[in-house]
Amino acid sequence: TTMTTGRFHTLWRQTYDYLTNTKGLNNLLWVFAPSTKERSGVGGTENWYPGDDYVDVIGMSNYLGGTTTQDDRDDQLAFTQAIPNKPFAITECCRNGNESNYDNSVFLDELTDNYQYVSYFMFWKDSKAPTESPNASVLFNDPLIDNR
């Protein structure tokens, strides 16, 4: 069966209803984070958005060595403008497995130069933890970063 936006909305909402209403879990953060590039052929990523009542945060991933292209930044900005009433996060970021020169200061520059509207970012460990890449202390000790 092919996934459609309608099926996705139904699945998301049923999952939300089951976990929050049936199971009573009220400490979940619902994050809608599609791929940076829409690959489904069904229109923009905002078409997959299940609705404000079912999402707390919107976000996208960054696995480009800490940098993004202007097209990626434009896509992400358009995404935040299409869903303006939710905080935006970089929901997954880290070095790609084949990147030997990942530098955390490059990611920090990307954040401060192009993503002032980001609420949070989360590293997703591949073969190396973020602290194993150069300039981890520069990133995590920057005054704009709250790493508690």
Q: What is the DSSP string of 52-78?
A: GGG-SEEEEEE-STT---HHHHHHHHH
pLDDT band at 56 (very low <50, low <70, confident <90, very high): very high
Determine the 3-state secondary structure of 16 from DSSP.
helix
- Of the ranges 37-46, 96-105, 112-121, which one carries the lowest mean pLDDT score? 37-46
CB contact at 8 A, 139 and 104: yes
Taking the model in full, what pTM does it have? 0.81
Q: What percent of the chain lies above the pLDDT cut of 90? A: 32
Dihedral sign for Cα 6, 9, 12, 13, please. negative
